[in-house]
Structure 1
Amino acid sequence: MRRWMGIPVAAVMLTACVTINVYFPAAEAKEAAKEFVEKVIGDQAPAATPQAQPSDGGKPGGSASVSRPGLEWGQLASRIDWLSLAGIGSAHAQSPDISIKTPAIQAIQSRMAQRFDSQLRAHFDSGALGFASNGTVAVRDASKIPLSDRVGVNQAVADQGRDSAAVYREIAVANNHPEWEGQIRQVFARQWVDSAKGGWWYQDAGGGWKQK
C-alpha cells in the first residue's frame, strides 16, 4: 500500500519542474479568421445545420447499460489527472481563445468591409483582383480595370493591404502574444481563399494565380 501511495507525491514533485508553454491555438484562430473574413466579404451561404441523431434508448436492439466491476487501483491511478490535483493545468487548458472583439479590430473590420463592397468587389468579380498569398489583396490583371478607375482601385488595394497588416498585428497584441502575428497572418491568408466566391482568383504558395 505504501508503494502505491508514493505515486501521487512523486507526480506532484515532478510537475513542479514542468514549464507550461501556451501554444498557438490554430483551431481558435481559424474560427476567428472565418468570422472576421466573412463579415468583410459578405454574401456567404449559412452553414448547414447538422441533423440530430435518433436515440435508440428503449428500442429493441438498443444498447443497454452494463454495470462494470470496480476499477483496480492501478487502473484508477492511470485515469487521475495528477496535474489538475496539483493545481497545474495542461498547456491545452492554458491556451486562450483568439479575441477579435476589441474596438480597434472592429474599426478596421468595418473599414475593410465598406471598402470591399464599394471599391473592390466588382474587380474581384471581373478577375482584375485576387487574394495574395501573404493575406492581402493584389492586382492580378490591370487591363481589366477601366483606365479611369485604376488610380482609385490601386489606392483601395494599398489601403486594404495596410489594414490587413494592421489587423493581424492588432489581433496578436490584443491577445497578449505579439509573437503570433506571423501565424495569424498565415491563418487569415488561407481563410480569405476559403471564403472567396467561386470564380475569384488567388495566389498559391509559389505565387502563381489560380481561379477558385
Structure 2
Amino acid sequence: MHKLSFVSLWLLLGLLAGCVTINVYFPAAAAEQAADRIIRDVYGVPPRREEAPAGEDAVPPPDSRYESESPLWVALLEALVKPAAAAADINVQSPAIDRLRTLMKVRHRQLLPFYEQGAVGIAADGELRIRDMNAVSRLPDRVRLKQLVEQENLNRKELYAEIARVNGHPEWQDEIRATFARRWIDNAPSGWWYQDSSGNWKQK
C-alpha cells in the first residue's frame, strides 16, 4: 500500500511539473518587457523605470516554525516549481543582438523624416511598409526610402531569430515576432501611421 502511494505521489508531482513547464514555456511578459527596452532604445526614447511587482516587498519571510512541519511532497513540489519560475525570463544579450540594435538605431534617424511625413508606417506584422510614396518629392529620397525599409525589415527578422537562438528555443521565433509587432506600434509616438489587424492605415 505504501509503495503504491509513493508511486502515485511521484506521478502526481510529474504531472504538476509538466503543467508548470508548459505555463511558462514562452515567457510572454518578459518578452514584452525586453521588446520595449529594445524598441525604445531604437526609437531614442528614455527607458521606463522598471518597478517590482506590486506587493512584492510586502511578502513576509517564511516562518521557520512551519518549515520543519512541511510534508515531503510540498518540499519536492517547491523544488520543481522554482526552476520553472526562474526560467520565465528571456535573454536579449549577444554580440549579434547588440550589432543589430546599433544598425537599427542609426537607421531610425534616417527613417524619422519619412515617419513624420507619413510616407512610411508600421504594418500589423511589425514590418515597415511604404504607405504614401507621393509624400516624398525627390526621386533620390524615394530610392533611399525603399532601401531603408528593405534593410530595416531584414534586420528585424534577424533580431527575432537571434533572440530565439540565444535563448535556445528557435521555435519561439514566431511568438517573439508577434510580441515585437505589437510593441513597435504601441511604442510609436503620436502622428505615426500603422496598420490595424484588418490592414487599414491609422494615425496614432
Q: Please say whether Structure 1 and Structure 2 have the same fold, judged by a TM-score greater than 0.5.
A: yes
Q: What is the 5 A alignment of 1:1-212?
A: 10-16=8-14, 19=18, 20-21=21-22, 23-44=25-46, 46=48, 80-84=74-78, 87-89=79-81, 92-93=84-85, 95-117=87-109, 119-148=110-139, 149-212=141-204
CA 1:197/1:16 → structure 2, altered by over 3 Å: closer, same or farther?
closer
Tell me if the contact between 1:8 and 1:82 (Cα under 8 Å) persists in the aligned partners.
no
Specify the SS of the correspondent of 2:25: coil
Q: 1:49 to 1:16 in 2, by over 3 A?
A: closer
Which is worse superposed, 165-174 or 16-25?
Answer: 16-25
Amino acid across the alignment from 2:77: L
Counterpart Cα distance in 2 of 1:47 and 1:183: 25
> What is the Cα deviation at residue 94 of structure 1?
5.2
* CA shift for structure 1 position 44: 4.5
Q: Is the 8 A contact 1:137 1:160 kept in 2?
A: yes
In structure 2, how many angstroms separate the alpha carbons of the residues matched to 1:48 and 1:184? 21
1:136 maps to a residue whose letter is E
Mapped to 2, the partners of 1:154 and 1:16 lie a distance apart of 53
Larger helix percent: 2
String of CA shifts for 1:99-146, please: whole Å, max 9, x gaps.
1110001100100110111x2011101111111111111111111112
Assess if the C-alpha contact under 8 Å between 2:43 and 2:108 holds in 1: yes
Q: Residues 140-191 of structure 1: CA distance to partner in whole angstroms, max 9, x if unpaired?
A: 1111112330001100000000000010111001100000000000000011
Structure 1 contact 24–95 (Cα < 8 Å) conserved: no
Q: Deviations over 1:77-113 (max 9, x none)?
A: 6x935413xx433684253421111000110010011
For residue 47 of structure 1, report the CA deviation from its aligned partner: 5.0
- Alpha-carbon separation, structure 2, partners of 1:32 and 1:93: 17
Unaligned runs of 5+ in 1: 54-69
Aligned residue-pair number: 187
Taking a change above 3 Å as real, the CA distance of residues 16 and 46 of structure 1, as seen in their structure-2 partners, is closer
Q: 1 CA distance for matches of 2:175 and 2:77?
A: 29
Displacement of 1:16 in angstroms is: 4.2
Gap regions ≥5 residues in structure 2: 56-64
Q: Is the 8 A contact 2:27 2:88 kept in 1?
A: yes
Q: Aligned partners of 1:44, 1:203: CA distance in 2, in Å?
A: 25
TM-score (norm 1): 0.75
